[in-house]
């Protein structure tokens, strides 16, 4: 790698061919099928929370236990959901994405080395 | 109470300074040791891609938990209660965008900068110039915020109130930062982040346990005590609306801020650049996981610290202290552990500014040297990597000098406002282009340029004509009022505008880059042909 231009790619592997392969299409599908809905989910949940805190003061001020109100609980739930989605994604990526990605990469880089 | 005008009563400036000096000495030794192996551009910009996921995750949290989040959020909770807490939620949830959509794909397709990712399939010179422009803009706003924060801290913790004295301290902070960046490169800077993050999180943890211990580890009792201390109407501390609930407009402003916060993080150039310091995409994933865990924990600590300060110090004392609400965490430290804990927290806050400024400077200088100098001016024909690194070092000095001057000029500005601005620019100018370029096969050069320059322009115009610059309660310019845009934060308008411009620019251009996109998609998803770690 002596050039500074990442676009002078090695011509070696046939990217279009790899891209069309069933294996790669499966990897692409698995990634998108997880990250897109999940992004919509957490953004929607976050926006719901922001709108509630912004416009539903009475509701958010409802006391639940002692001095802890619904607003605080929902806020803490944002932390919980963030941690949970992180854990889910890592598990999914380790099991469903990495094995295929590793296989394809080794195939391509093996070709390059020839 | 008369000494409050100078510094925190009972604080010991000599002690504060000596703890800070100790931090500087230790980190400088680490930086010099780390610099021994810095030879190539990959070493200088990306620390040889040799950091582990957890190390990088700690460094990311060091980069991210700026003085504004530490002092600002704890202070906002202490004074405004619940509305301060809302900031930290936006700052945290934002990391999911980075985790799910950006970190790994970026690591696989680029080398050092955001420009690398865009240049992958588009016409290099225009998109690199655009990416560098927005990187420099975000870094500049963020730098100003940190340097302005340094000014506040100086008066707060060292008892230096004179204009000249504060300026000297800002200059010293800037100079130390330049040394870190010049000598240590990315590796040295990363170690400074790691040390700082460890101190900051440990300090906040100790104070959190201490505060909770005072209330028998019962959060409800702590909240009750905060309400009691606030006296009449104290109940509002626990409910949303104290800060942003005034009118329909302030509510809309809050929504705008919330959107900018959640979408800004994944477009912050100094965060993006950190993903290049690890060997593989899997390590990039691991680093985000560590960052989310540490940042999440830290914001939970600030919740306790904010209410703790409200309960033990009291909002009135905090507002009267130099630095206003920013003084909440230091005052709480003093209340709990006396001058020694105050000195520690003060030193950590300084270290925080130093480290974040160093991280921003290396990012901005890398973007200039790598994107603008090497690829736009020299058209990718720089004869040796040494030249590029030399340009980066010179740029770092220039940016450092600008940061010092800007910091001195901006030292009376609202820190949180400047940070929110940086997030708005990052979310509008950087994120749409990044996402389009990673996920949309039709995206092309014109789309990228419209989205970056358009997003940047809309954001800056709306900011200039916002009540935050003129006409508002604590506006920058008080003598004239030329605002016509009603919101302080432009995110609600500028982010959709930038997404729209990116789409429009793309479909109006005949350029098709689908082949390149296929290659990019294979590489980004599998890591084939990605930059490897250098072995020393």
Q: If DSSP states are collapsed to H, E and C, what string results for B246-308? A: CCHHHHHHHHHHHHHHHHHHHHCHHHHHHHHHCCCHHHHHHHHHHHHHHHHHHHHHHHHHHHH
ipTM: 0.90
User: What backbone torsions phi and psi does residue A63 show, to the nearest 5 degrees?
Assistant: -75, 140
What is the domain count for chain A?
Answer: 1
User: What backbone torsions phi and psi does residue B145 show, to the nearest 5 degrees?
Assistant: -60, -45
Interchain proximity B289–A86, CB inside 8 Å: yes
For chain B, the structural domain boundaries read 2-31+43-526
- Give dist(CA B481, CA B470) in Å, integer: 5
- Select the residue of B100, B238, B292 nearest A38 (Cβ to Cβ): B100
Superfamily of domain B2-31+43-526: Sodium/glucose cotransporter (1.20.1730.10)
pTM of the model: 0.90
The shares of helix, strand and coil residues in chain A, as percent rounded to the nearest 5, are 75, 5, 20
Separation in Å, CA of A23 to nearest CA in chain B: 11
Cβ atoms of B506 and B436 within 8 Å: the answer is yes
- Give dist(CA A23, CA A6) in Å, integer: 26
Cβ atoms of B488 and B466 within 8 Å: the answer is yes
Smallest Cα–Cα separation from B139: which of B113, B117, B120?
A: B113
CB atoms within 10 A of CB A48: 11
Biggest CA pair distance of chain B: 71
Cβ atoms of B70 and A59 within 8 Å: the answer is no
Residues of chain B with pLDDT under 50: 1-6
In a domain, A2, yes or no: no
Interchain proximity B101–A39, CB inside 8 Å: yes
Separation in Å, CA of A41 to nearest CA in chain B: 11
What are the chain B neighbours of A112 within 8 Å (beta carbons)? Answer: 529
In a domain, A86, yes or no: yes
Residues in CB range of B380: below 8 A, 6 or more apart: A3, A4, A5, B124, B374
Chain A CA closest to residue B294: A83
Which tokens is B267 given? 């477009």
- Select the residue of A16, A54, A89 nearest B99 (Cβ to Cβ): A89
**pLDDT tens digits for range A11-50:** 556 888 899 999 999 999 999 999 999 999 999 999 999 9
- Give dist(CA B311, CA A71) in Å, integer: 19
Following DSSP, what letter does each residue of A50-62 receive, concatenated? HHHHHH-HHHHT-
Interchain proximity B239–A38, CB inside 8 Å: no
Three-state SS sequence of B524-535: HHHCCCCCCCCC
Interchain proximity A60–B240, CB inside 8 Å: yes
In a domain, A66, yes or no: yes
Beta bridge partners of residue B477, listed in sequence order: B470
In a domain, A14, yes or no: no
Which tokens is B26 given? 């230790």
User: What is the helix (H) or strand (E) element at residue B181, kind and residue range?
Assistant: none
Interchain proximity A85–B224, CB inside 8 Å: no
Alpha-carbon radius of gyration of chain A: 23
Interchain proximity A4–B519, CB inside 8 Å: no
- Give dist(CA B220, CA B432) in Å, integer: 42
Within 13-52 of A, beta carbons closer than 8 Å to B belong to 13, 15-16, 18-19, 24, 27-28, 31, 34-35, 38-39, 42-43, 46-47, 49-51
Residue B132 CB burial class (10 angstroms; 0-12, 13-18, ≥19): buried
Domain hosting A57: range is 22-113
- Give dist(CA B155, CA B140) in Å, integer: 23
In a domain, A13, yes or no: no
Within 62-101 of A, beta carbons closer than 8 Å to B belong to 65-69, 71-72, 75, 78-79, 82-83, 85-86, 89-90, 93, 98, 101
- Select the residue of A4, A43, A83 nearest B382 (Cβ to Cβ): A4
In a domain, A16, yes or no: no
CB atoms within 10 A of CB B42: 24
Instruction: Give residue B11's pLDDT.
Output: 65
Residue B50, helix vs strand vs coil: coil
Q: What length does chain B have?
A: 536
Residue written as token pair 């790598």: B370
Instruction: Give residue A4's pLDDT.
Output: 41
What are the chain A neighbours of B111 within 8 Å (beta carbons)? Answer: 6
Which tokens is B279 given? 């060997």
Alpha-carbon radius of gyration of chain B: 23
Residue written as token pair 């740029």: B395
- Give dist(CA A42, CA B99) in Å, integer: 12
User: What is the helix (H) or strand (E) element at residue A63, kind and residue range?
Assistant: strand A63-65
Question: How far, in Å, are A72, B109, B271, B367, B413 from residue B62 at the CA level?
Answer: 26, 25, 10, 21, 23
């Amino acid at each position: 790698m002596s050039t500074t231009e990442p676009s002078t790619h090695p011509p070696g592997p046939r990217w279009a061919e790899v891209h069309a392969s069933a294996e790669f299409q499966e990897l692409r599908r698995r990634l998108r099928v997880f990250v897109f809905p999940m992004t919509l989910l957490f953004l929607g949940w976050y926006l719901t929370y922001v709108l509630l805190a912004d416009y539903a003061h009475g509701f958010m001020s409802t006391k639940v236990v002692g001095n802890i109100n619904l607003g605080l609980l929902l806020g803490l739930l944002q932390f919980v959901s963030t941690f949970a989605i992180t854990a889910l994604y890592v598990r999914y990526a380790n099991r469903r994405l990495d094995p295929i990605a590793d296989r394809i990469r080794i195939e391509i880089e093996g070709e390059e080395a020839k | 109470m008369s000494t409050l005008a100078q510094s925190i009563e009972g604080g010991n400036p000599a002690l504060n300074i000596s703890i800070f000096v100790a931090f500087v000495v230790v980190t400088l030794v680490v930086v010099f040791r780390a610099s021994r192996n810095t030879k190539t551009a990959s070493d200088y910009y990306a620390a040889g891609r040799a950091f582990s996921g957890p190390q990088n995750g700690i460094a990311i949290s060091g980069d991210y938990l700026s003085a504004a989040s530490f002092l600002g959020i704890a202070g906002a909770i202490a004074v405004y209660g619940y509305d301060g807490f809302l900031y930290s939620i936006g700052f945290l949830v934002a990391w999911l965008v980075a985790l799910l959509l950006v970190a790994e794909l970026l690591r696989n397709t680029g080398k050092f900068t955001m420009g690398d990712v865009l240049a992958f399939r588009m016409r290099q010179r225009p998109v690199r110039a655009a990416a560098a422009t927005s990187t420099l803009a975000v870094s500049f706003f963020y730098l100003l915020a940190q340097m302005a924060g340094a000014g506040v801290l100086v008066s707060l913790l060292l008892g230096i109130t004179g204009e000249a004295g504060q300026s000297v301290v800002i200059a010293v902070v800037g100079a130390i930062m330049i040394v870190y960046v010049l000598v240590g490169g990315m590796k040295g800077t990363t170690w400074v982040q790691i040390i700082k993050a460890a101190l900051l999180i440990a300090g906040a943890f100790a104070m959190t346990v201490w505060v909770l211990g005072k209330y028998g580890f019962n959060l409800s009792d702590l909240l009750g005590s905060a309400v009691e201390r606030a006296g009449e109407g104290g109940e509002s501390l626990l409910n949303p609306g104290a800060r942003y609930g005034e009118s329909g407009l302030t509510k809309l402003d809050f929504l705008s801020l919330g959107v900018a916060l959640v979408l800004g993080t994944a477009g912050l150039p100094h965060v993006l650049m950190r993903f290049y310091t690890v060997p593989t995409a899997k390590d990039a994933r691991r680093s985000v996981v560590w960052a989310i865990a540490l940042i999440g924990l830290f914001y939970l600590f600030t919740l306790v610290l904010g209410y703790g300060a409200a309960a033990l110090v009291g909002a009135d004392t905090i507002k009267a202290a130099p630095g206003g609400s920013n003084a909440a965490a230091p005052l709480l430290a003093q209340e709990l552990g006396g001058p020694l804990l105050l000195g520690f927290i003060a030193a950590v806050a300084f270290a925080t500014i130093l480290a974040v400024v160093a991280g921003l400077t290396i990012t901005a200088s890398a973007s200039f040297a790598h994107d603008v100098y090497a690829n736009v001016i020299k058209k990718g024909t720089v004869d040796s990597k040494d030249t590029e690194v030399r340009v980066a070092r010179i740029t770092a000095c220039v940016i450092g000098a600008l940061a010092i001057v800007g910091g001195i000029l901006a030292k009376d500005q609202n820190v949180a406002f400047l940070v929110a601005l940086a997030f708005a620019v990052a979310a509008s100018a950087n994120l749409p282009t990044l996402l389009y370029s990673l996920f949309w096969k039709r995206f092309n050069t014109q789309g990228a340029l419209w989205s970056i320059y358009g997003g940047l322009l809309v954001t800056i115009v709306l900011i200039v004509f916002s009540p935050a610059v003129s006409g508002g309660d604590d506006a920058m310019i008080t003598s004239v009022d030329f605002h016509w845009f009603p919101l302080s934060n432009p995110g609600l308008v500028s982010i959709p505008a930038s997404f729209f411009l990116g789409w429009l620019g793309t479909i109006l251009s005949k350029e098709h880059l689908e082949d390149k996109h296929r290659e990019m998609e294979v590489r980004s998803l599998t890591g084939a042909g990605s930059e490897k770690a250098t072995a020393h």
